[in-house]
Amino acid sequence: MTDLDTRVAPPHAPFLRRAVPALLGYAAVRALGLVVLALWSAARGKSAYTLLTARWDSLWYTRVAELGYGYEVRLPNGDVHSNLAFFPLLPWLERLLHAALPLSYADAGLVVSLLASLAAACGIFAVAERVYGPRVGVCAVLLWAVLPVGVVQSMAYSESLFTALAAWSLYALLTGRWLTAGVLAALAGLTRPVGAAVVAAVWVAGVISFVRGRRAMRTPGAETTSHAPAHTPGASDDVQAPALAPSAEAPFAPSVPPAPAWRRVLGMLIAPLGAAGYVLWVGHRTGKGPLGYLDVQAGWRNGFDGGYAFARFVGDKFTSFPSALAGVGLIVGVALLLWLYVAGVRRRQPVELLVYTGVVLALALCASSYFGSKPRLLLPAFPVLLPLAGALTRLRTSRSVLVTAVLAVASAIYGAFWLNGSGPP
């Protein structure tokens, strides 16, 4: 048992008060990363601000915000890089801030990303607290902050915005707010192609709710399944599995009465509107029909091949000794991700989280896109961190703080090295 209970507000306190330790820890980690990035960049004669706002995908987003869609680059090999590959919500927000405040489009993108990263941290805390309690919530946020590519959370990219929308949509599902979940899923679908993961979570949860409802009608007196975790104050600090039925001893996730069927149906219908609307619009604009967006992605050499290209990429690393070490590292990394996902299944995470995480992992690992982008594509898969967060809560507070501090320093150094080198694609 740790004394971390004294660092978090009681379950009945207002949400923001309960989330304060997680937000302060997250802000401290990100501030450290930005300071190290600024010092490292200055030593190399580069601008940290430029690295955060005016390179790679951030340039494409600001061009969409400023000029709209239609810009493309034709490469010597015949590939066509079109800005239609970039979903519109982040550019829309950049344009809105630029119009409302004296900010450049790049400044607006940075502000959106910083605010979205805090919203994402709150959402991750809310989900983890709902399922496993506030201590795991705090640790989950800190682990998300100290990921090796955590610096992307502070860039004018769409990862933080998407993670915020996804986390809060999942939380809405866990608390029975179907309309909110559907709207947030639709907005996530306007942010990144992986918005399909949020839509899948809403749909699977909706179908299961109706199946359980029909079973309950056929079996009078059957208990309604809830997301309440089998967690009691003073119990073991290990991650606890969600209970199969409501329990008075589950203070962090009280039972949620089933929402009316029309709300569930409406939430399910709203969820795919964002992604479907943009994909269909791109197909209409390109004149290539409903699948026109796939042609746009093909111009970037992006596609879904079931992981064949990634497996071949890893296999090619074993042609020489130095690169073989990188190949081993990639295999270990993928194995760790899969092990954490299986751990979530064994700990009976809510089906919403499992479906969402599974789709994010599949789209990231089985896509034929540039392989250097895969670490940042995995950033939204925060539920895989919950088993690690549970393990972190089992340590004494002094040790968990030390582990987090070491990881934060390592993440800050790696982020600065990464952005001053090849950087994220």
**pLDDT value at position 224?**
44
Percent helix, percent strand, percent coil in the chain, to nearest 5 = 70, 0, 30
Q: Which of 142, 153, 154 is nearest to 402 (CA)?
A: 142
Q: What is the DSSP letter of 86?
A: S
**pLDDT value at position 329?**
79
Cα separation, 290 vs 281, in Å, equals 8
Q: What are phi and psi of 81, to 5 degrees?
A: -95, 105
Q: Which helix (DSSP H) or strand (DSSP E) does residue 103 occupy?
A: none
CA angle 354, 296, 183 (to 5 degrees): 40
**pLDDT value at position 128?**
96
Q: Please, is 238 exposed, middle or buried when counting C-beta atoms within 10 Å of its C-beta (0-12, 13-18, 19+)?
A: middle
Cα separation, 407 vs 62, in Å, equals 32
In DSSP terms, 229 is beta-bridged to: 242
Cα separation, 33 vs 155, in Å, equals 11
Residues 16-42 pLDDT 10s: 888 999 999 999 999 999 999 999 999
Cα separation, 307 vs 168, in Å, equals 29
The stretches in the chain having pLDDT less than 70 are 1-12, 220-255, 316, 369-371, 422-425
Domain ranges of the chain: 4-273+386-419
Residues 80-114 pLDDT 10s: 889 999 999 999 999 999 999 999 999 999 999 99
Please give the structure tokens belonging to residue 197: 């993961």
Q: Which of 120, 118, 140 is nearest to 129 (CA)?
A: 140
Q: Which of 422, 416, 421, 420 is nearest to 151 (CA)?
A: 416
DSSP per-residue string spanning 366-414: SB-S-GGGHHHHTTT-GGGGHHHHHHHHTS-HHHHHHHHHHHHHHHHHH
Q: What's the whole-model pTM score? A: 0.88
Question: What single letter denotes the amino acid at residue 301?
Answer: R
